[in-house]
């Protein structure tokens, strides 16, 4: 395998740090851009990865890309919080649209550039209720976050059509796993509450469903996407629907804790049901989601225990 230069933006984050770990098992040279706004530099091993601390919207980021001339970019850096996107639409669009454009424009100047892998989201589908959602379902975002991710995809598509820019956009379902200090998703929030004996909060009746995919399966999909020759959009999911109430049930069985949730009003911007067909990516690659929910939660449990042991030493 020829050694390539791979840049991971947001490489210190929840998904990015797993991608970096996975790439370190390859012969490639790994570079990271991260402004550390939501992560710590200790998330990636010192010495093995070249880290540039800067904002993806900056001239410094463009300059760095010119300097390292990556063959591949895995673009993960983003504003990822739906509620923040509603409260601060300008910020969300600035990071997710303008930041993506800034990185993409710099990549267009790299002579041997091979592929831009973009982290998109199921939020693009919004209220489209044709489950399981396939990649040609009509985007109907119901949050600025879903809209900004869709716009990122559209710019990539446009640049592919007009300038032959090579890209692959992966629409992730709901990603879970041990998050450390990263912002919490529903599974991490439940975990914290359940293990500290507090009542987890459920927005709505808890019968809303999500397609939960384990973070290591996502990292593997991102690495495999580097070799996907067909430009376009791919769902990355388990293709299974799990209700929020079921998540809590499986978690309390695993942790052997009885829990009584606190039900609050459903939130604006949250979709009711979600399930993504993963057939297109499965047919294109050898990827498989290897963790069903119970197995992913078990892995999370083991990781948390290991971290606690390291902290105690
Ligand atoms: N976690 C999920 O469930 C999920 C689902 C769908 C899509 N995604 C997408 O996957 C990607 C990674 O998500 P994550 O869960 O790892 O999030 P994260 O917040 O843990 O990671 C994002 C990383 O980007 C960095 N960052 C943020 N803004 C930046 C900026 N302006 N310049 C440079 N660095 C910046 C942060 O410091 C962080 O390290 C995002 O694009 C997100 O939209 C995540």
State pLDDT tens for residues 104-127: 999 999 999 999 999 999 999 998
For the cut 90, the answer to whether the pLDDT of residue 30 exceeds it is yes
Across the chain, mean pLDDT equals: 94
| Res. 1: pLDDT tops 70 | no
Q: Ligand 1 pocket: which of 7, 9, 11, 15 to mutate (most atoms <8 Å of CB)?
A: 15
Q: Catalytic: which of 125, 145, 176, 214?
A: 145
* Burial tier of 161 (Cβ tally within 10 Å: 0-12, 13-18, 19+): exposed
Active site residue 214: no
pLDDT at position 312: 74
Nearest CA to ligand 1 atom 3: 175
Residue 267 pLDDT: 82
Atom of ligand 1 nearest to the CA of 185: 3
Atom 43, ligand 1: residue with shortest CA distance: 80
CA of 143 to the centre of ligand 1 (A): 17
- In this structure, the residues whose C-beta lies within 6 A of any atom of ligand 1 are 10, 12-16, 33-39, 55-57, 76-78, 80, 95, 99, 119, 121, 172, 174-175, 182-183, 185
pLDDT, residue 181, reads 63
Spacing, Cα 1 to ligand 1 middle (Å) = 29
Domains of the chain: 5-180+212-237 (3.40.50.720)
Closest to 57 in 3D by CA, of 35, 80, 81: 35
CA of 260 to the centre of ligand 1 (A): 31
Cα(213) to centroid of ligand 1, in Å?
16
Q: At what angle do helices 14-23 and 215-225 cross, to 10 degrees?
A: 60
User: How confident is residue 269, by pLDDT bands cut at 50, 70 and 90?
Assistant: low
271 secondary structure, DSSP code: -
User: What is the model's pLDDT at position 13?
Assistant: 96
Q: In what order do the strands lie in the sheet with 5-9?
A: 50-52, 29-33, 5-9, 72-75, 115-121, 167-172, 232-236
What is d(CA 106, CA 269) in angstroms, rounded to the nearest whole number?
33
Give distance in angstroms: CA of 279 to centre of ligand 1.
25
**150 vs 307 pLDDT, higher one:** 150
Regarding predicted confidence, which is higher, 128 or 148?
Answer: 148
Angle ∠(151,156,161) on CA atoms, nearest 5: 125
Please give the residue that has the higher pLDDT: either 181 or 290: 290
pLDDT at 8: 98
If you search the block for the tokens 């091979």, which residue do you land on? Answer: 114
- Give per-residue pLDDT as tens, 177-228: 988 766 678 999 999 999 898 999 999 999 999 999 999 999 999 999 999 9
| Distance, C-alpha 31 to centroid of its chain | 18
Query: Tokens standing for 212?
Result: 């939960």
Per-residue pLDDT tens over the stretch 141-164: 999 999 999 999 999 999 999 999
Percent of the chain at pLDDT exceeding 90: 87
pLDDT of 132: 96
């Amino acid at each position: 395998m020829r050694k390539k230069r791979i840049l991971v933006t947001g490489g210190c984050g929840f998904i990015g740090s797993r991608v970096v770990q996975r790439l370190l098992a390859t012969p490639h040279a790994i570079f990271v851009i991260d402004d550390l706004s939501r992560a710590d530099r200790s998330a990636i091993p010192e010495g093995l990865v070249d880290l540039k601390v800067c904002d993806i919207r900056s001239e410094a980021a463009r300059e760095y890309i010119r300097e390292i001339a990556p063959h591949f970019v895995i673009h993960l850096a983003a504003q990822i919080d739906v509620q923040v996107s509603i409260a601060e639409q300008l910020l969300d669009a600035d990071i997710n649209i303008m930041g993506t454009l800034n990185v993409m424009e710099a990549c267009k100047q790299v002579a041997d550039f091979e592929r831009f892998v973009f982290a998109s989201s199921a939020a693009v589908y919004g209220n489209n209720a044709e489950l399981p959602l396939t990649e040609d379902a009509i985007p109907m975002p119901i949050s600025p976050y879903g809209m900004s991710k869709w716009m990122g995809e559209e710019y990539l598509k446009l640049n592919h059509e007009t300038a032959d820019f090579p890209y692959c956009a992966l629409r992730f379902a709901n990603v879970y796993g041990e998050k450390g200090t990263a912002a919490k998703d529903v599974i991490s929030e439940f975990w914290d509450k359940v293990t500290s004996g507090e009542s987890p909060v459920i927005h709505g009746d808890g019968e809303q469903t999500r397609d939960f995919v384990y973070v290591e399966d996502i990292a593997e999909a991102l690495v495999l996407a580097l070799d996907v020759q067909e430009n376009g959009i791919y769902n990355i999911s388990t293709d299974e629907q799990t209700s929020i109430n079921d998540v809590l049930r499986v978690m309390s069985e695993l942790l052997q804790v009885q829990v009584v949730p606190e039900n609050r009003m459903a939130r604006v911007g949250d979709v009711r049901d979600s399930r993504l067909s993963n057939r297109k990516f499965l047919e294109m690659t050898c990827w498989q989601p290897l963790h069903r929910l119970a197995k992913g939660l078990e892995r999370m449990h083991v990781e948390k225990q290991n971290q606690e042991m390291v902290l105690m030493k």
